[in-house]
Amino acid sequence: MHKLATILIIAGVGFALAACGGLVKGDNRQNQPLNSGLVSAIKAIGSTPGEGMVVRLFKEESVVEVWKRSTAGQYRLLKTYQICAFSGGLGPKVKEGDRQSPEGFYNITPGLMNPKSNYYLAFNTGFPNKFDRSWGRTGSDLMMHGDCSSRGCYAMTDEGIAEIYTLARESFKGGNPSFQLQLFPFRMTAANLAAHASDPNMPFWKDIKEGYDLFELNKTPPTWDVCERQYIFNTTSGVPLDAMGACPVVTASAALLAKQAADEAAVANHIQSAEQQAASEAAIKARGEAVTGAVGGLFGGIGSMFGGQPDVAPVITGQPAPVPMPALVRS
């Protein structure tokens, strides 16, 4: 009985680990070298394998971007990968079992890398992070991995995750303690924000948009922390904040304020244009229906003037039809 219980426990642990990134005996895939194409691409953007990196992901576009820090200090786009699959829809992960993929900002350390994943190679997103925990969000083993199959994770091709994994390994070797993973529902453009303006996740998306904007402006990953249960970026104190406590005052740059104002105006214009378009289409449809009704009424009236009768469905009685009367002959 004791032996059977032990077997069941081991089987249960194996099933749990297999959820999205369990462990298997593998080859030396985690130590494969950078391919020559990536080496050339890194050199072409003025970077080296050991420089820092940033990974940005966009659900709606199904793409992952890898950026590398150049020797000049700013980050430049190295390569874009297609996402094979991700679980759920737009919006953050809230609780274990909701089959949603996370959104937000995460710092990936060497301890989150999984070289022996059931899904070829993988790294843990770090969900739940400080922000997620402040909202009581739950979930475990939320990975970016290979095998093109997702159950709450972000699935890549084996080739794609191998390159990203190798790039991360070389960045760690270069002395970088982590790389930033930015997970977005979509590119934070005015058109996309307007298209999803009524989504209940919009307050959260506007929160993480500031981090998106800072990277777009500066081409360096913003530092992030959590206070008042919201993200805050580029604080200067260097002291970890209380996720539930008051936020410190952070002075936004003129460039950031200008971008935010321009984006808000563009979102409003997109929404107004969409409303006007919808109203115009509704008016055209109403006019078309009115014209169709009027024409139908006109021909119905003309038909009645000439003795026309409305269509009457034949009555089927099963009885023989009567013999028609002979035609009337007028002299």
**Does 178 fall in a domain?**
yes
Coil, strand, or helix at residue 64?
Answer: strand
Using alpha carbons, list the distances in angstroms from residue 300 to 143, 288, 294, 296, 327.
67, 18, 10, 6, 30
Q: Per the domain annotation, does 294 fall within a domain?
A: no
Question: Residue 118: inside a domain, yes or no?
Answer: yes
User: Across all residues in the chain, what is the average pLDDT?
Assistant: 85
Is the same domain home to 258 and 195? yes
CA–CA gap between residue 100 and residue 28 (Å, rounded): 31
137 with 207, same domain: the answer is: no
In this predicted structure, the answer to whether residue 152 has a pLDDT above a threshold of 80 is: no
Question: Are 39 and 163 within one domain?
Answer: yes
Domain contains 24 = yes
* DSSP 8-class letter at 322: P
Q: Does one domain contain both 206 and 180? A: no
Tell me what the mean pLDDT of segment 151-168 comes to. 91
Domain that holds residue 261: 188-286
Q: How many CB atoms lie within 10 A of CB 27?
A: 8
pLDDT tens digits, 54-98: 999 999 999 999 999 999 999 999 999 999 988 899 999 999 999
d(CA 278, CA 310) in angstroms, rounded, equals: 38
Q: Would you place residue 123 in the very low, low, confident or very high pLDDT band (cuts 50, 70, 90)?
A: very high
pLDDT at 280: 73
Residue holding tokens 């298209």?
Answer: 195
Q: Domain count for the chain, please give it.
A: 2
The verdict on 87 and 178 lying in the same domain is yes
Domain edge (last residue) among 163, 185, 207: 185
Residue 16 has pLDDT above 50, yes or no: no
Which residues are known catalytic residues? 145, 153
Give the domain-ending residue among 286, 303, 324: 286
**DSSP-derived secondary structure for 103-120:** -EEEEE-GGGEETTBTTS
Query: What is the DSSP track for 168-237?
Result: HHHHHHTT-S-EEEEEESS---HHHHHHTTT-TTHHHHHHHHHHHHHHHHHSSPPPEEEETTEEEE--SS
- More confident call, 311 vs 123: 123
Evaluate whether residue 84 is within a structural domain.
yes
Q: Is residue 146 part of a domain?
A: yes
In the structure encoding, which two tokens stand for residue 132, read together?
């997620």
Q: Which amino acid is at 60?
A: E
Clarify whether residues 46 and 111 are in a common domain: yes
For residue range 178-209, what is the model confidence (pLDDT) as tens digits?
A: 999 999 999 999 999 999 999 999 999 999 99
Residue 6 has pLDDT above 60, yes or no: no
86 & 234 share domain: no
Per this entry, what is the length of the chain? 331
> So what's the pLDDT on residue 12?
40
Q: Do residue 127 and residue 33 come from a single domain?
A: yes
- 278 and 158, same structural domain? no
Q: Taking the CB of residue 32, how many other CB atoms lie within 10 A of it?
A: 14
pLDDT above 50 (res 300): yes
Percent of the chain with pLDDT over 70: 80
Q: Mean per-residue pLDDT for 213-219?
A: 98
Phi, psi of 214 (to 5 degrees): -65, -40
Same domain? For 124 and 246 the reply is no
282/174 same-domain check = no
